[in-house]
Structure formats: C-alpha cells, structure tokens
Amino acid sequence: MKHILFITSEKLNPTHQVTSIFELAQARAIRKQYKVNILSVDYRGSFEATGKSFIKSSLRLELHVCLKYLKECLKSALYLSGIKKWVNTYIIDDICVTESQCYSFSIFNTLEDQIKNWCKGGWIAVNEILANKGKPDVVHAHGRFLFAGYLAYQIKMKINIPYIYTEHSTYYRTGRAPKEAKAYLNEVLNEANQIIFVSEALKKDVEIFLDSPIHFSKIVPNVLHEIFEEEIYPSRRLEGFQFISVGALEYKKGFDVLIRAFQTAFEGDTSVRLLIVGDGTEEKSLKELVMKLRVTNIEFARQQPKEMIKQFLDDSDAFVLASRVETFGVVIIEALARGLPVLATRCGGPEFFLSADRGILVEPEEVNELVESLRKIRHEIDRYNPITLHTDAVNEFGHIAFLNRMKLIYDST
C-alpha cells in the first residue's frame, strides 16, 4: 500500500482542527487505498514576544496568565537552545497526525526567517515520521501559503521523495502575497512532480502573481466530508423560510454585505430568517450591525462540529455566501449535498461549479443585486430539486469522485 504524507500549512491537533479541515477530509477520502499520515507545525510565537507578555502580566499581578507565559518562555528557551524538541502524535478521525511545536527568538521581519523557522520545526516532525512510520512514497503538501510546499521541496532535495503541491491560498487574490515569495514559490512549483489547484481562478491568480504561465497542472476541487453525503429527506417547512450562511466571521467572507442586503430584502417580514454560523474577529461588529439596523430575524451560532452543521443545513431552505474572495467554497458544496440551492458571489471559486440549476451568482459587494437574488431564491424555491442537487454534488465532489481523481495522480507520481 502506497504511503502518502500530507503536509498542512496550519497547526492540527485535537483542539484545533478547523484550519486543516480540507487536509483531514482528503486524508479520509483516500485512506482505504493508501497509508496516510499528516504532518503539521504549530508555531507558538517568539521568545521575545512571550517574554514581554510575561513581564506585563507579572506587573499586573495576573498570576494565571503570568504562569502560562512563563511556561511558554521556558519551552521556547529549551527549543531555541537545542535541548528539547517538542513533537506530539495524535489520532484524529483515524488519521495519524504528527505535529511539532516551534519557536523563534525574535519577532520575524522577513519571509526568509519565517520559512526557515517553520521548516526547522517541520523537520522535527519529518524525522519523527521517518523513525516511526517509515519513509513515505509521496509527499502531498497543501499550501495555505507556501510553508508546506517549501518543506516538501526540502524533503525532495535532501531525501529524494517526490511531492505533489496543492494550492489553496487566497493570498494571491487579496494581494497579501509578498514579492519576496516569488522565488520560493517558483522553486516549489518547478520541482513539484504534480501541481494541483482547487479552482481555475486560483491558478490564474498564481500565474498573475508570478507573471508566468503554469503549463503542467491539474484542477482538483475540494472533497465533501462524508457526513454530507448521507441520504437526504427533503421537506418544505410549513411556516417561514430560513437562509443559512456558514463561514469564518472575517471581512473577506462579506457577512456585513449579507446583513445589509437581508435587512433590505425582507424588512418587516419576520417569516424569513437568516442563520449565520461561525466564529471570527468580526463577530462583535457584525452583531452590532444587526442591532444598529434593528433586524430581529438574524441569528448567530458559534462554529459547530460537522454533525451540527449538517443538521443546521437540513433545517434550512437555502444557503447564501456573500464572500469577497474564495479559492473554492467547500461550504457551498456541503449545502448542495444537503439539497439546498445556493446564492453566492463570483469571488474566485463558486462561479466554476455553481450553475443556474444549482442557484444564483451575483457580483461581490453588490448589495442591490444580492437583495433581488435573495428575494428571487425565496419566491422560486420550488424550481430547485433537492434530490437532484444532492445527487449531483455527491457524484461530483464526494469521496469516491475525489479518490478516483487522486488515484490517477498518486499512482503516476
């Protein structure tokens, strides 16, 4: 059985899974035909910053906080002096995850420093896997931004393991990718045995950033979590209508736009509700916006396990996502798989798979267009067939479809 090592660019442990859900879902999808391990790195911060926080909490006599920072200071000192390496192994969804913890001495100022430190921590996990799980046949690095790909590049250069690089990052579309990243990204792409993008739009974004075409690559969409593939039992609610939107409460997700559009579209109509599910830095400001607009039919729920997200979707009538930018949009295919029509923006991912028989597309930040489309999907809900939406989504994005795509790639690498 071929051994595949996933590398995620984000930390992954039992208490922090949300930023690596794509990697976990893909690992689950292929585990019956491949031996799969996941490597992650938890960057814990700098000795300098932690030390300053320790001093501040000491001066404020915050004993509990002070002890937390003291512990991190000691751990970082042991790591930086080479006395101790911090690495843990977990089983998450029956997948073995090896996560190293790393620290830096000072707050990073350059991308070179960030990559060097992250890869140093990554090699601790690599050596742990080599010692206990054996040498992988293929490394599959998932780039939220660059780090995982560059570690895969180093692994190939040092111990000759071929690698696949899948790009997920929104940095290229949002302008957050620094110019210094070009040289590193070119090294990663030039040495990769296979290159994957989750959407055609993301590939174009990277080509624009590099000012160069990428000739040899494949488009492989993200995979559904198996729970969303379960059979559906559609029934229209007897009273009212519920929209649902799921995602991180961050600026790029456009929840502020959605709230304003929803208030305009259904002002005074309390039979129509909107449920927003997620956590994030904009939670407070979004709730304040709802209060300011005096909207009584918008509710918030914290980020939930997949089982609860599935139940929320099953209890709703339509899904809406007003993102300013997406590289794909996994929550959209989750909604489709539960038989919900989708209203989304042309923001980089959804426009490549959300056809007219699956929902409606609007331009990002176009409140008036969003208002009209919310009303339209509400009044024309019966034109969408839930069973067809479910079946098509599972056939296109389910674990069997994903495994068949990836089998061709893994077996030729």
Residues 247-277 pLDDT 10s: 999 999 999 999 999 999 999 899 999 999 9
Domain coordinates in residue numbering, the chain = 3-219, 227-396
Work out the end-to-end distance of the chain between its first and last CA atoms, rounded to an integer number of angstroms: 14
d(CA 95, CA 295): 44
Cβ burial, residue 166 (10 Å; 0-12/13-18/19+): buried
Look at residue 241 in the predicted model and tell me its pLDDT. 95
CA distances from residue 394 to 106, 205, 226, 361 in whole angstroms, order as listed = 47, 28, 9, 21
227-396 belongs to CATH 3.40.50.2000: yes
Please determine, for residue 240, whether its predicted confidence score (pLDDT) is greater than 70. yes
Decide if 335 contacts 315 (C-beta within 8 A): no
pLDDT class of 159 with cuts at 50, 70, 90:
very high
Let me know how long the chain is. Answer: 413
Predicted pLDDT at 410 = 97
pLDDT at 70 over 80: no
The four Cα atoms 304, 288, 326, 12 give a dihedral, to 10 degrees, of -40
The fourth-level CATH superfamily of domain 3-219 is Glycogen Phosphorylase B; (3.40.50.2000)
SS (H, E, C) 227-248: HHHCCCCCCCCCCCEEEEEECC
Half-sphere exposure of 204 (CA within 13 A, CB side): 7
- Report the pLDDT value the prediction gives residue 51, as an integer from 0 to 100: 65
Mean pLDDT confidence for 321-342: 96
Pairing state of beta strands 298-301 and 272-277?
A: parallel
Going by C-alpha positions, the residue among 37, 3, 21, 12 that lies closest to residue 126 is 37
**For 65-69, 169-173, 326-330, which range has the lowest pLDDT when averaged over its residues?**
65-69
Distance CA 308, CA 120 (A): 38
User: What pTM was computed for the model?
Assistant: 0.91
State both tokens at 117: 């430190």
The yes-or-no answer to whether 3-219 and 227-396 have a common fold is yes
Q: pLDDT tens digits for 188-210?
A: 999 999 999 999 999 999 999 99
Q: Is residue 65's pLDDT more than 80?
A: no
Bigger pLDDT: 68 vs 330:
330
Helix (H) or strand (E) holding 121: helix 111-132
Each residue's pLDDT tens digit, 382-400: 999 999 999 999 999 999 9
Mean pLDDT, residues 362-376: 97
* 324 in Cβ contact with 254 (< 8 Å): yes
Rg (CA), the chain: 23
In whole angstroms, give the CA distance from residue 138 to residue 161. 6
Q: Which residue has the tokens 């570690």?
A: 151
Average pLDDT across the chain, whole number: 92
